[in-house]
Every structure is written in structure tokens, then in C-alpha cells.
Amino acid sequence: MEIRIYEELARAIGEEQLQRFSDNIDFEKFSWQRYLELDLVHLERAEVEALLELIKPYAKRGGLRGAQTLGADIRTWLKAFDDPEAARSRTCQHFCALATELLARVPGHRLYWRDPTSDVWYAYYVEELTYHPKYRDSHRDRWNPAHTDIETFWLEFGGRCANKLVFHDEDCIGLSVVEALARKGYVVETQELREKYLADVAGFNATVGLIGHQYLARGAARDDCDGNGDADRWSRYSRGTVTLDRDGGGAGACGRRRVLRGR
């Protein structure tokens, strides 16, 4: 999570003190900007606590500009160390930092989405989180709002597919990461979901090599084993039984497995 330390506060704390937390602290930058940026992601918890102690004397009512807000942001980040699911986003950029911290702690780095029509959970691997500040689109002559992108991918029938979740201010401010994701229908990987996913992958990998094998089949077979539900018109009205025996011998059959977009 990036924070901004405005010039008045930075000078009150001192350049040497702030350089303990980053090599990029340089007061010469105040000749072209009013603040210094510091990314808390690169600091250990003890370092974040030490930074908060330096800010506290200036964060009282009537104190230096930005000190109160900065102190609140740092306390939220400390909360994310202990319980990342509980911390709430103050800005869209803040959401990006909290989501990165939370998903980095998930062993599989996955999000899950449940298909309500089939009651199947799909797993998506989180590849990258990126915050985009507000910017002007010169081609369309309009401003694009600040937003955070969560890029995901999955493997489907041997190919790589990708998807992007976009969060604007109204999608995340005041919410925890878990709540913001839930509003879009996604949940962070739990141990139960992880175990089921790994078992499904193992089962698929053990079976996929048998697809296409040729067999001789006898008896009768149904033609509704492709997974289509009652909502499928063809499946609903065209079900039937097929006799496999032919001229005293079995009919050719091909091994297949119902595949629900393995992700």
C-alpha cells in the first residue's frame, strides 16, 4: 500500500528518520511535488509500527496536514497483517493493496465462482492486481475513473483463458476485500474449496488419458448422459434408449468424460 507524506509533515519528522524506511526518500523531490511516496508492502511489521510512532505526535487535532489520515491508513495496514479479511478499504488504491496482501496469503492464490445453474464451483488463478489512477482518454475526450484490475486465468481444454475483474470506488470503498469480491460473486479460496479442487484435478488427470479409447459395448444405453439439464430443449424432448447389440456382437463405443470447463 502506497502512502503519501506531505512536505510539512515530512520535514517535521526529518529526512534521515524517513530514510530508514526507504532509499527513495529524498527531500529534493519537493522542488517539483508536494509529497513523498512510501510503499508499506516492502516494510516489516516492526518498521510499519515505528513509522506510525513517528507520525503520532503530529496526528492530533489541529496537527500537520495529512497526519491524521496517514495514521489511520497505517493502522488499517497493521490490521491487515493480523486479519487481512477484516480491514476495510478507504480508497480504490487502498483496496488494491489490501487485496494483494490477502491473496498473497492464500496457498493456491485462487478465487472461486459458483455457477447457480449447475451448482459447480469454478476456480480461477489470480495472476496480477493493478491499480490505475484516474486518467484522461484523449481519443474519446473523457476521464476514466480510478480502478483496480484483478486479472485471472484458467486452463480449458488445453488452452489458457483469461478474465479481468474491475473494481471502481463504488465497488470497494468502505468494504473489506472479502465483501467486495462477494458482491461480484467470488470467494477467496478456503481449505475446503482447495481440497475439493485438488481432488477434482487429480481425478481429471487420471481419466483424461482414457478419452478416445475404443471399446465394444453390449446391452442398452441412454442418450442423455452429456450433462444437459431439463432447461435444454433437445435434452428434454429427445431422450431415448439405444440398443448396442448388433448381429450378435457388441457395438463400438468411445470412452469420454463429461468435462465442466476445468479451471
Mean pLDDT of the chain: 81
Pick from 200, 203, 216: which is nearest to 255 by CA? Answer: 216
What pLDDT is attached to residue 257? 44
Residue 238 has pLDDT above 70, yes or no: no
pTM: 0.62
Q: Please check the confidence at residue 229 and state whether its pLDDT lies above 80.
A: no
The percent of residues above 90 in pLDDT, for the chain, comes to 29
Which of 146, 52, 43 is closest to 93 using CA atoms? 146
Name residues whose C-beta falls within 8 Å of residue 141's C-beta, 6 or more positions apart in sequence.
none
pLDDT exceeds cutoff 60 at 150: yes
* Residue that has been written with the C-alpha cell 503530529 in this structure: 58
Q: What is the pLDDT of residue 69?
A: 82
Give me the residue label for grid cell 516489516.
44
In this predicted model, what pLDDT tens digit does every residue of 179-219 receive, in sequence order?
A: 899 888 898 888 888 888 888 888 888 887 777 777 777 77
Lookup: cell for 171: 465497488
CB under 8 Å to 246, separation ≥6 — which residues?
Answer: none
Residue 235 has pLDDT above 60, yes or no: no
Over the range 167-177, which residues count as b (16 or more CB within 10 Å of their CB) and which as e? Answer: bebebbbebbb
- For residue 127, the model assigns a pLDDT of 93
